[in-house]
Structure 1
Amino acid sequence: MNTENSKSDVQKRIRTTALRQAQEIEERKNLQARIADLVVEAFDLPSNHDADPARPEASDASLFKQCLGLFQSTDLDDLIYERNIDNRCGYALCPRPNQRLSHNGELIWNKQAGKDFKLVNKAEMERWCSPLCQQRTIFVRAQLGTEPAWLRDVRAVEIKLYDEVAGESLADSLNTLSLAKAGDEDLTDKLQALALERGEININSNNEPVPLVEKESDSIPKPPSLKSKQSGKIEGHQPRKVRFHET
């Protein structure tokens, strides 16, 4: 009797585990389908053809933030790719077309001077209508989850847009974002990676200069003497004296 009861308990546990796994798989499939639908919905943004990406309509911004809350970087790349095929800027809240550069090379000048001068990838620049929309996308990408949506609590995600954060540059805006979410180690790591990628090493909230210590000495080094015991040696080897006999 006890044997039959134990077998029944094992079968119940197996059945319960199988049902739970099937439910998790179904929820994952539904969430993946929802993300695909959001890519399509974000593809049609903004709702007005003359919208200003710096001041989007509340409904457009809300939908875009909802998408970003579920997106990973690959999902955002899919959205940018689809919009570029349609000859539109990769930033979902911008109605302008993406730029087409006449330069034939793979690398182009970033139209900056001095220390900001650098060569950038042409294909990357053509994904946007302007460098500003590229910065807007970089800013939201820094906030995307690294894990799939079904492995994280997407309800607790709060996405900020670049134009909602006051900053004179992308680095300042990312700094502000980092301070607002100081406990998010994953965000800090992504900001550091973005800083290194863009060459902006001053991305931390700690802007204190690195102290430089210069060692001083009163002694004057003496030049090596020409009259050295090592004179006549070649790389430390003293050649033998060879005498030639007259014939």
Structure 2
Amino acid sequence: MASSSKPAKSILKKRIDNTTTPQQSGASIVSADSPLAETIASANPAHLATALYHANLIQRRKDLELDILYSTETLLDYPTTNLSATSPSASDVATAKQLLRPFQPSDFDALLDERRINNRCAYVLCPNPSPPGGSNGGYRLFGTSGRSSNFRIVPAAEADRWCSDDCARRAMYLKVQLSETPAWERDGGYGGELELLGEREALSERQRLDDRLADDIKNLEIISDPEGRGVEGRKDLALERGDMAPDAVMRGGLVDVEVKEKEITRQAVPPSFEDEFDDEDEQVRRRFDAMHLKHEGYASR
């Protein structure tokens, strides 16, 4: 008797050819009338925009984290010169402040630890090596020989970061300016400008010296006189001394000099002992009486 039963159906899914695209194979995986297919076809554009926004945010976070990693590697070799931390190179200062802007305090601590492992002072602008001895745990005592207010107990790992207390203060001054908010969540970019310890006082002192120099130059009248008051003052001073007449000053400070011969109003008479007295004895007496008043023929009055 012929069997009327249907042939057995395989429970395995149909094999998909490797050359088949996801769009072509979608019909074999998702049924055309399934709820999932309807959801994909009728996707909300707002939901797609939200998904794209979060995808871009994740990508931005990855990029910034990679920038922080590269900045940490760069700052491990800083400074590029052997200048002291009190007066570092201007280019090193500008680059270090720019690279540290996206850092969080935790990223900054990681940078300090990496520099310590490389036997360098943790302050990024200090060329000195870290203090010898290593930090295998424990604590360090400071201020034991002075006043009790200076006494402090510091973990060895923290104390061995710096070559001096000044570098520790400089590094902590940078750290407190870093934002706790991740760089990819900050408004307006990476954050505000960073400032070194004592940089503002140095700028104020430089500005004060520049102002003082400008005042000294002004007092010396080296700067230009746009209103010509200096020239007028010199004219008045010359008139007071009697050096020139009011109309004798010409352009450029030159003087118009005109040489004239003195006019003779009467005939010149040579000196003589004769005078209006007729009596010879009287003439001699008067001449001897006035002899001590004359000097080279001139009689004073």
Question: Could you say which structure has the larger radius of gyration?
Answer: 2
Q: TM-score, normalised by structure 1?
A: 0.59
In 2, the alpha carbon distance for the partners of 1:104 and 1:73 equals: 24
Where 1:109 maps in the other structure, the secondary structure is strand
Q: Which has the higher contact order (CA 8 A, sep 6+)?
A: 1
In 2, the alpha carbon distance for the partners of 1:142 and 1:133 equals: 14
Where 1:162 maps in the other structure, the secondary structure is coil
Pair 1:100 & 2:132 matched: yes
> Hey, what does 2:160 align to over in structure 1?
126
In 1, the alpha carbon distance for the partners of 2:106 and 2:200 equals: 24
> Hey, what does 2:179 align to over in structure 1?
145
In 2, the alpha carbon distance for the partners of 1:52 and 1:148 equals: 32
For residues 19-98 of structure 1, the aligned pairs below 5 Å read 19-48=52-81, 50-98=82-130
Q: Deviations over 1:180-239 (max 9, x none)?
A: xxxxxxxxxxxxxxxxxxxxxxxxxxxxxxxxxxxxxxxxxxxxxxxxxxxxxxxxxxxx
Runs of 4+ in 1 over 6 A off after TM superposition: 102-105
In 2, the alpha carbon distance for the partners of 1:36 and 1:102 equals: 25
Would you say how many aligned residue pairs link Structure 1 and Structure 2?
A: 161
Q: TM-score, normalised by structure 2?
A: 0.49
Where 2:140 maps in the other structure, the secondary structure is strand
1:156 and 1:105, CA in 2 relative to 1: closer, same or farther beyond 3 A? Answer: closer
8 Å contact kept, 2:101–2:193: yes
Match of 2:198, as an amino acid? D
1:18 and 1:98, CA in 2 relative to 1: closer, same or farther beyond 3 A? Answer: same
Instruction: Report the identity percentage.
Output: 35
8 Å contact kept, 1:46–1:60: yes
Match of 1:86, as an amino acid? N
Q: Deviations over 1:63-111 (max 9, x none)?
A: 1111221111111111111111111000011111111248998232213
> Hey, what does 1:14 align to over in structure 2?
47
Structure 1 unpaired stretches of 5+: 1-6, 168-247
Pair 1:161 & 2:189 matched: no
Match of 2:157, as an amino acid? A
1:14 and 1:102, CA in 2 relative to 1: closer, same or farther beyond 3 A? Answer: closer
In 2, the alpha carbon distance for the partners of 1:69 and 1:102 equals: 30
1:158 and 1:9, CA in 2 relative to 1: closer, same or farther beyond 3 A? Answer: farther
